[in-house]
Structure 1
Amino acid sequence: MRRVIIFLIGIHMYTLGFSNENSNKPLERPGINENIKPNFPSEIPLIPLVPALPNTTENIDEEGNIRNLEKNFTVMIEAKVNVFIPLEIVSDINIDATVYGNQIVEVPFEIELNKEPEKKNYYKLKYSETEIDIDSDGKIDTYIYSPEFINARYIKDNYVKIYGDKISREGDYTKKVYITVEAGI
């Protein structure tokens, strides 16, 4: 314990010796090549301190052997991580249409993605259904059309086509269709 206190006092006095009026001048260090400059990050991260006295209760292994701490090291590690964000649809689409008689109605809609695809002609839209029997009479009366590939963040060439002559019953109909992004097939 006494050695640690003397060591800390020595460090404190050492740092006080450099806090005079010449502290604005860079320290001269003989024997160091001036052309070699270390590559330090602009911000020095906080490094946790290593305890001065080892706790003997924490240094006992499973067999009851006491492990003595011989050397302490502080290591700074730089980590680089590649993060991949998948292509996702970020817009909800609600299509409201009114069909009179045998009318054919085309309703355009736009799909927004979270980012522009990195690869062209690689991603496709996949619908849970593209041919829908909206009134459940056995005849397909509603079709969903989209471009074959996704090449932009906003996909504008989509539309729903409704054939009024194939709808046999009058009424309000609702259908949920799920859209996902499919990668290169």
Structure 2
Amino acid sequence: MAKPAKVRQPAAPASSRQAARRVRILRAASELGAREGLAGVQMHDVAKEAGVAIATLYRYFPSKPYLFLSVLEWHIEQFLGGDDPGPVPDETTDPATEVAETLIALSGKLLGSPLLASAVALSSFTEYASAVQTRFDVVERPLGQRLLRLLGGRADTETTRSRVRLLVYSWWGLFVAMLTEEIATEQGEAALRLAARLIAEQ
């Protein structure tokens, strides 16, 4: 019996030049995905658009689903302001409202490009069944860290981290439901506000 092919793990940029090259790839994939949708984008087209060799593309992104999951993360980071941790909550801040409005605005940003939104959503399902799997704690990702911060003065306990996970998973489910028009945008936003209130105030 033949041995399965060894999975190529994604490389991390080791220099500012490599980091810039990775961003060019993400930007190119975003532009192509927004025009063509997931099925219409070929990895060779992304490499050409980004001005990199196809081997370089696969070095950082071993599969198309992995690439578009990375596009999603990149867009979330851009929406949140990159390395900006966001405002420090104070006693006048209502955590549930801040969380809800952040998630609603993020949904609106992503849904503004329906083909790209579909590409990242489809890739999330495909990637979890693929050989190169993306496994991470959502609390450690930029969105999780922002929500953790918005919960205010609460200690970074496992209970608080569980609240953040519930918020992210609730948002993602409602985002997909709005994307597929299973529910109207207004319904999705109302549900996000309710979910934020129920989860953040427990």
TM-score, L = length of structure 1 = 0.24
Q: Which has the larger radius of gyration?
A: 1
Q: Which has the higher helix share?
A: 2
